[in-house]
Structure 1
Amino acid sequence: MSNIPADLLYTKDHEWVKVHDDGTATVGITDYAQESLGDITFVEFPQDGESFTSGDTFGVVESVKAASDLFMPVDAEVIEINEDVDASPELLNQEPYEGGWLLKIKLQNPEQLDELLKADAYESIV
């Protein structure tokens, strides 16, 4: 059974979003996603300052099994990438919700958060 923290929002594409009070959020992949991928070997990140629309591909996660696109959950600007994951992609397997986060983003349309899934809704699709 996958770990699905109740305090996060989720996408059907298995990304999670943790919203912060300052108009920013942290984005990562879910425990289910990292389990499905297997041993993660590489992550392709966007550049700081890049802007994306909800649903845009912002990077790729590669594992011993497959490569999988990463999709931006909301309209946002990238303000930070996780350098630790860039150097050690296996952190995504070890700590998908803590040390294995991918991006910090500045929300451009916070009302889009209402379109994301709460933990119980996400649990029902996995």
Structure 2
Amino acid sequence: MSYRYTEDHEWVLLEDDVATIGISDYAQGQLGDVVYVEVPEVGSDISKGDELAVVESVKAASEVYSPVSGEVIEVNEDLDGSPTLVNEAPLEGGWFAKVKVTDSTEIDDLMDEETYKSYVEGLDE
């Protein structure tokens, strides 16, 4: 499975029925240096479009919305002491949460990498 993206710059990587969620490189670049990340509680149920996390940077605070519905089964505790992981490795170490997906068809509504790249290029024009 490859990364899929939302228009709000969240990414999701679905492996079996577990979605790992973070923000794109474009989004972290727009935010600037991340100084704090608030992640959801493990065990909480989340619906597509619900607030999943809050990212605070030197520029602003920004909500991160869940691209899928399900139960939060893991959060990235490394962000507690190292919120800059979101800047340094947004697609690897900077993820926010893993969600056990209840409706895997929701991923079909998201952009693939090529479509997202074109979308971002259109924003910069």
TM interval, short-chain normalised: over 0.9
Q: Do residues 59 (structure 1) and 89 (structure 2) align?
A: no
SS at match of 1:12: coil
Whichever residue aligns with residue 57 of structure 1, its letter is E
Match of 1:12 in 2: 7
The residue type paired with residue 24 of structure 1 is: V
Q: Distance in 2 between matches of 1:10 and 1:53?
A: 16
Q: Quote the RMSD (CA, aligned, Å).
A: 1.1
Q: Which runs of 5+ in 2 are unaligned?
A: 121-125
**1:72-106 superposed Cα distances (whole Å, 9 cap, x missing partner):** 00112100000101221001000101111111110
For 1:29-108, list aligned pairs within 5 A: 29-108=23-102
Deviations 1:30-75 (A, max 9, x none): 0000000000000111100111111111221000001100100011
TM-score where L is the length of structure 2: 0.92
Residue aligned with 1:65, SS: coil
Q: Of the candidates 101, 108, 119, which is equivalent to residue 114 of structure 1?
A: 108
Q: State the Cα distance separating 1:27 from its structure 2 match.
A: 0.6
Structure 1 runs (4+) greater than 4 angstroms displaced: none
Aligned residue pair count: 120
TM-score (normalizing by structure 1): 0.91
Equivalent residue, structure 2, for 1:3: none
Matched position secondary structure for 2:62 = strand
